[in-house]
Amino acid sequence: MTLRDAAIAVRENAHAPYSNFKVGAAIRAASGTVYVGCNVENVAYPEGTCAEAGAIAAMCAAGEYEIAEVYVIAASPSPVPPCGGCRQKLAEFGKSAVPVTLATTAGAELATSIGALLPGAFGAGHMEGS
């Protein structure tokens, strides 16, 4: 199964009763294993949790901590980027050059990288010597 196929499939499991905006994400870890996540909304947090954060959580729960590739898909007019919090999470677990594909359910794709999504990311190196 491709990352695109995995993201499309998990998107169907999104719980978006308030926005009706379903997002699916698939992450390939350094091991080659694919982890998926979808957005989840609730009454207390109607904007919900993000698909990328869910995929990262699944990866960490399995004992993996390095992202090799990311694919995100939503039914939007143009490819939808991750929120700021998810950009930081991606930067925590993936190198700057890690490829990220943002896609729409209509077939549009935008190829980018973690570094392009979050230039100047804060990292562990900033805390050296403190």
Catalytic residues: 52
Q: Is 106 helix (H, G, I), strand (E, B) or coil?
A: coil
- Which residues does 43 contact at the CB level (< 8 Å), separation at least 6? none
- Burial string for 101-111 (b: 16+ CB within 10 Å, else e) reads bbbbeeeeeee
- Which residues does 87 contact at the CB level (< 8 Å), separation at least 6? 81, 114, 117, 118, 121
